[in-house]
C-alpha cells in the first residue's frame, strides 16, 4: 500500500513579526472563516469583513499592514478596494494579497494593476498562504528597517525615536565635557487614544501631523524635534537653562492653543500638555533622561 505524504505547513517562528493585524475582505463565509482561523493560529489579530465598503471602513480605523481581499465582493469589489487603499498613501506600506478562483486570469491582472502585491488562488492552500505571509513579513520588515535607518518618522516628517536618541547621546556627552546645560521640552497629546477609539487611525494620524506642523515655527535652527512615543514629541533645546524654557514653552503653547483638526466633517480638538526636564542629570543616560527623569509641568504665562 502506498503511503501519502502530508504536505508540510509553513509556520515561521517570527510570525507575526511586523504586520500583527490582518484585514480580510471576503464574501464567501466558509473561505473567510478558514482563512481567519489559520491566521489566528499563527498569532495574527484578524478582522473579517464580507463587503468592500465595510473593509474600507475598518482599514480607515486602524493600522492594518496586511489586507487580504477577494476579487468578488458585493458593491465595492476587490479591485476597487485595492485602488482605494493605495490612494490613501499611508506613511507605512500596506501589503495587499488578492484572491480569486484559480483560473481567473482577468481577475489576477486587474488586482495586480490596482496595486495588489501578490495573487493567491482559491481554494485555500495552507502552504501557499504561509509562504505569502512570510513574504509579506519580509517585505514589511525591510521597509521598516529602511525607514528607521533614514531617521525620519514618515507620518510626521520629524526625527524618529531611534535617531533622536542617537543624536542626544552625542549632545549629552558634549554637555558633560563642556559643563553645558540644556532642556527637553515634551509635547504630549493626552487624549490620543480617545481620538483613536472614537475616530480611528486616519484621524489620529492627521492630529499628530497637525501638532507637529503647528510647533515648527517655534524651532530654532539648532533645535531637534522628534517623535519619542506614540502620543509624545520632544524638542531638544541646546544651551537653554530651565529658568529660560518658559520663553519657548509659551511660544509653543500659543501655537497649539485652539488647535482643531477637521476629519470627516467633524472637528477634533487634541488635549495637549507641555512638560520639561533638564540635562545632564548625574549619571543618567540619554534614554533614562527622556523616559525616566522627573519632569516639570510648563505653566502657561498669564
Domains observed in the chain: 21-148 (3.40.50.2300), 161-297 (3.30.70.270)
- In the sheet with 182-189, reading across from the earlier edge strand, the strands are 224-229, 232-238, 182-189, 272-279, 296-297
The pLDDT of residue 3 is above 60: no
Mean pLDDT of the chain: 88
pLDDT band at 267 (very low <50, low <70, confident <90, very high): very high
pLDDT band at 300 (very low <50, low <70, confident <90, very high): low
| C-alpha to C-alpha distance for 300 and 80, rounded to whole angstroms | 49
Higher pLDDT, 189 or 161: 189
Contacts of 185 (CB under 8 A, 6+ apart): 234, 235, 237, 245, 248, 249, 252, 274, 275, 276, 298
Rounded to an integer, the average pLDDT of 29-41 is 95
More reliable by pLDDT, 292 or 101: 292
pLDDT in tens, 209-235: 999 999 999 998 778 999 999 899 999
- The reply to whether omega before 123 is within 30° of 0 (cis) is yes
Cβ-Cβ contacts under 8 Å for 299 (sequence gap 6 or more)? 246
Closest CA to 28 of 87, 81, 80, 68: 68
- The answer to whether the CB of 140 falls within 8 A of the CB of 127 is no
Residue % of the chain over a pLDDT of 70: 90
Contacts with 50 (C-beta within 8 Å, 6 or more apart), sequence order: 25, 26, 27, 29, 32, 73, 74
pLDDT at 302 over 80: no
Q: What is the pLDDT of residue 162?
A: 86
Q: How confident is the model at residue 14 (pLDDT cuts 50, 70, 90)?
A: low
- pLDDT tens digits for 101-151? 876 788 888 998 999 999 998 999 999 999 999 989 988 887 777 665 568
Amino acid at each position: 500500500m502506498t503511503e501519502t505524504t502530508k504536505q508540510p505547513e509553513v509556520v515561521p517562528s517570527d510570525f507575526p513579526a511586523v504586520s500583527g493585524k490582518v484585514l480580510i475582505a471576503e464574501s464567501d463565509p466558509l473561505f473567510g472563516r478558514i482563512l481567519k482561523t489559520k491566521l489566528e493560529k499563527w498569532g495574527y489579530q484578524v478582522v473579517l469583513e464580507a463587503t468592500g465598503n465595510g473593509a474600507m471602513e475598518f482599514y480607515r480605523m486602524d493600522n492594518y499592514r496586511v489586507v487580504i481581499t477577494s476579487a468578488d465582493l458585493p458593491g465595492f469589489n476587490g479591485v476597487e478596494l485595492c485602488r482605494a487603499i493605495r490612494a490613501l498613501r499611508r506613511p507605512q506600506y500596506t501589503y495587499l494579497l488578492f484572491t480569486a478562483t484559480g483560473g481567473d486570469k482577468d481577475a489576477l491582472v486587474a488586482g495586480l494593476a490596482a496595486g495588489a502585491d501578490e495573487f493567491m488562488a482559491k481554494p485555500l492552500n495552507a502552504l501557499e498562504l504561509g509562504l505569502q505571509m512570510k513574504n509579506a513579513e519580509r517585505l514589511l520588515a525591510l521597509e521598516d528597517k529602511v525607514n528607521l535607518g533614514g531617521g525620519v518618522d514618515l507620518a510626521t516628517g520629524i526625527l524618529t525615536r531611534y535617531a533622536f536618541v542617537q543624536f542626544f547621546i552625542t549632545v549629552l556627552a558634549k554637555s558633560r565635557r563642556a559643563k553645558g546645560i540644556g532642556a527637553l521640552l515634551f509635547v504630549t497629546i493626552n487624549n490620543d487614544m480617545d481620538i483613536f477609539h472614537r475616530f480611528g487611525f486616519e484621524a489620529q494620524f492627521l492630529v499628530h501631523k497637525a501638532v507637529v506642523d503647528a510647533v515648527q515655527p517655534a524651532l530654532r535652527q539648532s533645535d531637534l524635534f522628534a517623535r519619542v512615543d506614540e502620543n509624545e514629541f520632544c524638542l531638544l533645546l541646546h544651551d537653554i537653562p530651565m529658568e529660560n524654557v518658559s520663553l519657548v514653552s509659551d511660544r509653543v503653547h500659543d501655537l497649539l492653543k485652539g488647535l482643531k483638526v477637521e476629519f470627516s466633517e467633524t472637528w477634533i480638538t487634541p488635549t495637549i500638555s507641555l512638560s520639561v526636564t533638564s540635562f545632564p542629570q548625574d549619571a543618567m543616560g540619554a534614554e533614562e533622561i527622556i523616559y525616566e527623569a522627573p519632569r516639570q509641568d510648563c505653566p502657561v504665562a498669564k
